[in-house]
Structure 1
Amino acid sequence: MGRSQAPCVQCRYRKVRCDRQQDTCGNCKRLEFSCSYRQNVSCKETKKLKSESVPPERQRASRACFECRRQKARCSGDLPSCETCRQRQRECHYTDSDLPVESSQLLKSASALFPIRRQELLRAIGQFFRHLYPIPSFAFLHEPSVRQHCLDGSLDQSLALSLAAVTNAYLSTDQRLLQECASWMLRAEAENIQHLHQPSIRRVQTLLLTVHYYIRTGEFARAYMLVGLAARAATALRLNYERPELTFVAQETRRRVIWALTSIDGYFSVGLPEHETISYPIIYQRWPCHEEEFSDGNTQRSTGSIQNLTKPNSAKTPNLLSACHQITKIQRDVMRLTRQLAISEEPLAALPGLVQEIQNDLWRLHDDVELSSEFSISAMTRQLEMNHSQWFARYLLAALLWHQVHCDLYRIFLPGYPEAVPARIMNTTDANFCEHAVQMCHIHVMQVTEILAGVLALSDIPVLPHHVAVCAYQSARLILFLPSLHCSRPEITTESAIRSANLALSVLHTFFSSTPFAERIITDLEHLLQASVMSPATAREPGYLSSAPSDSGRQRHSQLAVHSLVRQAKFEDDDYET
């Protein structure tokens, strides 16, 4: 039997069908009402319910979502999305005015923070790890964990929004979608700012994605301020230190976050300590491990100390993420050396030896990679052969950076070059060493040019690292300058230099024409090429203001290159007290 004959008081008031279940009917149980069928309800309370003329507050009828109302379907009223919308994989919207106050507030904190369908999010995650994650400054998320959290519905909402937004910003041309991404990013950013005093790994990762988004959209000032917040949060969490008690994936995630932060920081600081948000001397973490280890959570091929690149790798796949970060660190050291030499007032007899030490570090890194994986960074064709690999960006970046750092290191000994050491140091430097520097510049800038020529032949690469644009720009400047040197090789003619510079410009136009980051680079190189074509003698003159020769070493020390995002942010101090 187990069923009452008459409907309960609540259902009778609401004029809804009562299932007459004993103790508590289904409607009262679902809506958490005090059902008149409850055996423990006192007679006095039952009489009170029957005698009330005003029905309880409506909670069910006005909670149908927009889609269920439109299709006249039963709506469960669940937040952030109803059961029907979840089953049909459609976006669920409620009208705030039709909800109780508590439900409206819950909607704003739940549904409004997750306006992306699961399938769209999974698609964005797939594109992110296929095209953006291979770039070292993006390599700070654990793909299996992110995918699993997405399937479980437990992925951090701000992280999900920022990941989808930055992926679409780099890969989509749909203007409507890009406008939605802007609102997603603002929402994720606001969430981070609101919890600024409660840093976490996820929030630091969200901040890094936010910084990447604003770099992509040209909001460099906003990106610069946010990368400072990310660095402060990272040091507050002590991500710059090892945590041996954590799981392997947790430890490696911490490492990758801090190393990605140093890579992003380099976009802004370009060797100027005052613009650094995180400095290498305070990092006591190991280099990132192989991707296979990180993806599988395997600790057997774990990296050793911070000085070691890798241990023997049975898979013979190079740890190019570690290599790229190490080359970037060496490049930062070269930049700082160049700036320090600009303000040096005394001849530096130990300078050739210092340069040789940096050269040894580069070759040591080269040999470590070759020994562990039978892969040669300097083998130009190997990088281009890997264009179908997911990790092509890392193969390309490791090779370009390795050659570009050589150019950065030796160009300071080219008389008349904007970044050259002061005359008092140049005059005391051994002439044979200066000749060697010219030859090294020629060798490595030609290698960069040949790699760029191979890249230009590839048309199916959706995204290239920003460093590729910088290498193309700097190599073009250098090769246009080399013919003006009397000790230069005979094969370095003005005509061949202009051809090489035009090739670099073609790479910039092909892969970076829609990137705000590269606009000034492209414009500057075009002006330099025009001047070189009109008068070969102008090849000695820099085509951009940031490297214009100056009589003041202090000015040269603090100059920002045209590709510095701090310079492009155009900060102005226009508020003065009188």
Structure 2
Amino acid sequence: MNVAVTLSPPNTLHARGHVRSMSDAGFDSPRAASVASVATPQDRRPKKSSSTCATCRHRKVRCNGVRPMCSNCQRLGFPCSYDEADADAWHVALPRRRVKQACLTCHSRKARCSGHLPSCERCSSLGLDCVYRPTKRIKTSSRPQGSMRSPAARSIDSDSHDAHDDSDRAMSDPASTPASYGHDGPSPDESFDSLIRRTFEKFFHHIHHIPVFSFLHRASLMEQYYAGKVDKALLLALVGITSCLTTMGPGIREYGDGCIDEAESLIFADYTIPSTIKVQALVLIIKHRILCNKFPSAFMLFSIASRFAAALRLNHHSPNLCFLAQESRRRLMWSLYCIDAGISGGFAEFSLWRADRINVGLPCNERNFEFDLSKPTEKLVPDPDDPEQPRSEDIGSLALHVRILHIRQKIIEFTKTALIGRNINAVELQSRVLGLHQELEDFAYRMPASFQFSENSMRLRAYSPRICVFVMIHIWWRQCYCDLYRLAMTGFRDALPLQTLESLDQSFLDHCQRQCVEHSVAMADIFKCMEKLHARPIADLDLAICAFQCARTLHYAYRLDAVKFGLVTETVREQSKACLKVIQQCCRGPAAAGVQADLERLINSGLGAVDTSSPVLEAQSSTQGRTAYPQHPVLKNIRVGEEPSVIHTPARLSNGSGTRPDVYSSTSPGMATLSPTMLPDAWMSTPQKAFETNMGSNGEGSSAVLTSTELNNAYEDALKGLSLANGLDHAMGVMDLSTMWAPTSEWMAPEFANGAGV
């Protein structure tokens, strides 16, 4: 024990060890205590002067020890003392440098919060909604009742100390913070700002390459967001569409569905003031409705988006804007055109945008748009005196996508006209078919070499986000041939009536049937190539519908005459499975799941069964004598109410059985419910998105004007709506607004009642 004392450092521990050694030797405790009292001051090392002032020690921060005043006290204006004699008893009332809790707005912006109740100084000065996250001791919100709250703000009220209640509320309440979502979703402490940043990353990495979503310019959007100038309706729409097409964590998809509903409500609450941002948000909302099997909602919302676009004159040049703003508007307009081509489904009376009404150039290539490199682009419909030449290599893929959809729109309109024609001229029909065939051949001939399809071109794009639009250009090109030539597929539900086919030349029929089958096989080969290269881009619902039609055509051709078309049982099965696999790997949403389920049923039924009961694409039981007007697929789900005082002429649509049921019946007192369908037909391209939201400051009105910056921005003038005070007369070409908006009896004129106008 004495040895241990000798080796110990000369401090109080040595003294205590010395006392213990004496006690072990038999000394009594009083004497040991006296010895210890003597040994302690002798062994203690002289105390150094403190290098930490009393103020820093009290604040528990690092002190640099500078005398007479340390840098911390000098910077903060605190008293500084190094007197240790008074350190234990010295208590100074130091002002608190940090508040106990910052409000949500200041926390998300990483700004200093004063912590005042009911509203902090920053939120009060900026006119923002100030909300504090409740703690276990504070269960009520500090915000005054009755004020408007953003989803991020209302998410605070949804926090619960019961994890089960929190999770249930997060799944059902779109305004609640999606708590208890696991490591992939936002945690209970994750702010709405953090969710938005994740949404931006997911959207621009996985979704932006889909053609109808390409109107958003990332740098411009991020700049506006960090400046606090992006309207929450657009943010909610982005969360909704991104959560639908990507995996953001458990519960986020349901949360996104609620965000879409909330964004739609915000737009309708301010629908009298159109803006470019609202059209953008409407595009996202419409697309979400389509992906979720809500086609009637998308059908009606698209008309509002189109009216907004017409009022904003998106279909006309805007030379007073910077290039980024012009290009963003052009892309938005062409997105509406592509959506319209799908929603109209070949029925000219349902089309809201014709090519001759769009007076802007086609979209430029992605590099020019991303880096603000201005360049003129060609028109969709060239002037008659313009020579036709192979297109340059720097043409944008979006421009090619618009062109092929333009050709397809003409094809499906022709096929609808041919299906309802009672007295079809065989020579005229053949001439028209060959003319459209030549347009498709010219499209392929003029396509730049870098866009020509081959396995090598697919390999080079396999890991690029641009592979989606590249694949869809070639898928649509093949689908156009199938849409055109399946008129001659005897017995097919989309074929001409039997008596019409009998009047056509047999060699022409054989040519049409072979073309339809060959292009379906080529489309299946594209899907097999994607699987081989592990190319799995997130794609639109269009890809799922085309894949289903490809497999359906091959199955029907096999049953019709497998030997004639050179189809082998095992090959058709492999091609059908390739179609199914591309849907499973690239398509998301309930609508795509429905297509996938139908294709699985078709494959499982075998090649000998007849496809007559698909809930997605219902088949005709007979093609003989079919002269009834084809019914628009979306309208089958729309409930139509009567307005006898407005609708003077009843409209009729075919139900596919040869009769035409009344849609607007003057005798029926209730609602007319049309026969249900699940998806558009093969000739109908997927309606995409056309709804957009405002861009304001934290949910404020869209009339706020962005401050100019040194850099160009795609949102230049995007906030300028069409109110009476800021440019409605200029936008619509009307000089006297009082005469335009004054209620007069001309609204009851027959041309308005019959649906004239846009």
Which range, TM-score by smaller chain?
0.7 to 0.9
Distance across 1 between alignment mates of 2:464 and 2:567 = 34
Pick one of 489, 493, 516 that aligns with 2:590. 516
Alpha-carbon distance in 1 for matches of 2:428, 2:477: 24
Instruction: Choose which of 203, 218, 221 in structure 2 pairs with 1:143.
Output: 218
Is 2:435 aligned against 1:360?
no
Q: Does 1:546 align with 2:618?
A: yes
1:131 counterpart letter in structure 2: H
Within a 5 Å distance, the mapping from 1:330-409 to structure 2 comes to: 330-348=407-425, 349-370=427-448, 374-379=449-454, 381-409=456-484
2:356–2:381: 8 Å Cα contact kept in structure 1?
Answer: no
- How far apart are 1:206 and its partner, in Å? 0.9
Q: Select which of 425, 428, 431 maps to 2:500.
A: 425
Are the structure 2 counterparts of residues 443 and 202 from structure 1 closer, same or farther at C-alpha, using a change threshold of 3 Å? Answer: same
Tell me if 1:284 matches 2:284.
no
Q: 1:79 to 1:258 in 2, by over 3 A?
A: farther
RMSD between superposed Cα atoms in Å:
3.7
Query: SS at the partner of 2:413?
Result: helix
Q: Which residue of 1 aligns with 2:325?
A: 250
Q: Select the structure of larger CA radius of gyration.
A: 2
CA pair 368-183 structure 1, distance change in 2 beyond 3 A: same
- TM-score (norm: length of structure 1): 0.75
Distance 2:369 2:113 in 1: 46
Q: Aligned residues: percent identity?
A: 23
Q: Deviations over 1:515-547 (max 9, x none)?
A: 2112442333334334443x36x37x6856533
State the SS of the aligned residue for 1:400. helix
Q: Which moved more, 1:143-152 or 1:305-314?
A: 305-314
How big is the shift at 1:193? 0.5
* Paired position in structure 1 for 2:28: none
The alpha carbon displacement at 1:341 in A equals 0.8
- Out of 360, 374, 379, the residue aligned to residue 305 of structure 1 is 379
Conservation of the 8 A alpha-carbon contact between 2:237 and 2:259: yes
| Superimposed CA distance per residue, residues 71-96 of structure 1 (whole angstroms, 9 cap, x where no aligned partner) | xx973559998779xxxxxx963688
SS in 1 for 2:266: helix
Cα deviation per residue 1:479-507 (whole Å; 9 max; x = unaligned)?
A: 11223445964631344323322332233
The alignment status of 1:482 with 2:574, answered yes or no, reads: no
Is 1:320 the equivalent of 2:392? no
Q: Which residue of 2 aligns with 1:37?
A: none
**Among residues 331, 335, 338, which one is paired with 1:260 in the alignment?**
335
CA displacement at 1:323 relative to structure 2: 0.9
| 2:527–2:578 contact (8 Å) kept in structure 1 | yes
Q: In the TM superposition, what is the alpha-carbon distance from 1:424 to its structure 2 partner?
A: 3.7
Q: Deviations over 1:398-429 (max 9, x none)?
A: 11111111111111122222211223432232
3-state SS of paired residue (2:313): coil
Query: Match for 1:198: what amino acid?
Result: I
In structure 2, what is the Cα distance between the partners aligned to 1:468 and 1:496? 21
The question of whether the paired residues in 2 share the 8 Å contact of 1:318 and 1:375 is answered with no
Three-state SS of the structure 2 residue aligned to 1:134 is coil
Q: Which whole-Å CA distance do the structure 2 matches of 1:175 and 1:80 have between them?
A: 34
Residue in 2 that maps onto 1:557 = 630
Aligned residue in 1 for 2:54:
none
C-alpha separation in 2, matches of 1:78 and 1:429 = 83
Given that 2:205 and 2:465 are in contact with CA atoms closer than 8 Å, whether structure 1 keeps it comes out as yes
Amino acid at match of 1:558: Q
Q: For residues 75 and 144 of structure 1, do their structure 2 counterparts lie closer, same or farther at Cα, with a shift above 3 Å needed?
A: same
Distance across 2 between alignment mates of 1:334 and 1:523? 28
Give, as a single letter, the amino acid of the residue that structure 1 aligns with 2:669.
E
Q: CA deviation at 1:475?
A: 0.7
Rounded Cα–Cα distance in structure 1 between residues aligned with 2:247 and 2:273: 33
**2:316 maps to which residue?**
241
Where 2:364 maps in the other structure, the secondary structure is coil
Query: 1:135 deviation in Å?
Result: 0.7
The Cα offsets for residues 181-227 of structure 1, whole Å up to 9 and x where unpaired, read as: 33433332222101111000001101111122233333333333222
Give the counterpart letter for 1:341 in structure 2.
Answer: A
Letter in 1 for 2:436: I
Q: Are 2:569 and 1:491 aligned? A: no
Letter in 2 for 1:571: I
Provide the rounded CA distance (Å) in 1 between the counterparts of 2:559 and 2:446. 37
Pair 1:577 & 2:669 matched: yes
Larger deviation, residues 142-151 vs 451-460 = 451-460
Q: 1:123 to 1:108 in 2, by over 3 A?
A: closer
Q: Quote the offset at 1:122 in angstroms.
A: 2.8
Contact 1:339 1:558 in 2 (8 A): no
Instruction: With the length of structure 2 as denominator, give the TM-score of the two structures.
Output: 0.58
Unaligned runs of 5+ in 1: 1-60, 85-90
Q: What is the CA–CA distance in structure 2 between the aligned matches of 1:132 and 1:272, rounded to whole Å?
A: 29
Deviations 1:157-194 (A, max 9, x none): 22122112321221125233334333433332222101
Cα distance, 1:496–1:461 mapped onto 2, change above 3 Å: closer
Distance 2:215 2:418 in 1: 35
Contact conserved, 2:390 with 2:447, CA < 8 A, in 1? no
Residue aligned with 2:515, SS: helix
How many angstroms does 1:456 deviate by?
3.0
Q: Measure, in 2, the Cα distance between the counterparts of 1:66 and 1:487.
A: 67
Alignment of 1:184 with 2:223, yes or no, is no
Instruction: Name the amino acid aligned to 2:114.
Output: C
Q: Pick the structure with more helix per residue.
A: 1
Report 1:415-494 matches (<5 A): 415-457=490-532, 461=536, 463-486=538-561, 489=564, 491-494=566-569
Gaps spanning 5+ residues in structure 2: where?
A: 1-98, 124-129, 135-139, 156-174, 178-190, 643-667, 671-758
Residues in 1 aligned to 2:119 and 2:443: alpha-carbon distance in whole angstroms: 51
Matched with 2:289 is: 214
Q: State yes or no: 1:155 paired with 2:230.
A: yes
Confirm whether residue 75 of structure 1 aligns to residue 75 of structure 2.
no
Match of 1:133 in 2: 208
Aligned pair count reads 492
Q: Which of these residues, 511, 528, 534, is aligned with residue 602 of structure 2? A: 528
Q: Residues of 1 paired with 2:597 and 2:548: CA distance?
A: 11
Give the whole-Å Cα distance in 1 for the aligned partners of 2:276 and 2:194: 25
CA contact (8 A) 1:65 1:82 kept: no
Checking the alignment, whether the CA contact within 8 Å between 1:377 and 1:402 is kept in structure 2 is: no
What is the match of residue 33 of structure 1? none
Which among 105, 112, 115 is matched to residue 147 of structure 2? Answer: 105
Q: C-alpha displacement at 1:450, in angstroms?
A: 0.7
Deviation at 1:106, TM superposition (A): 6.4
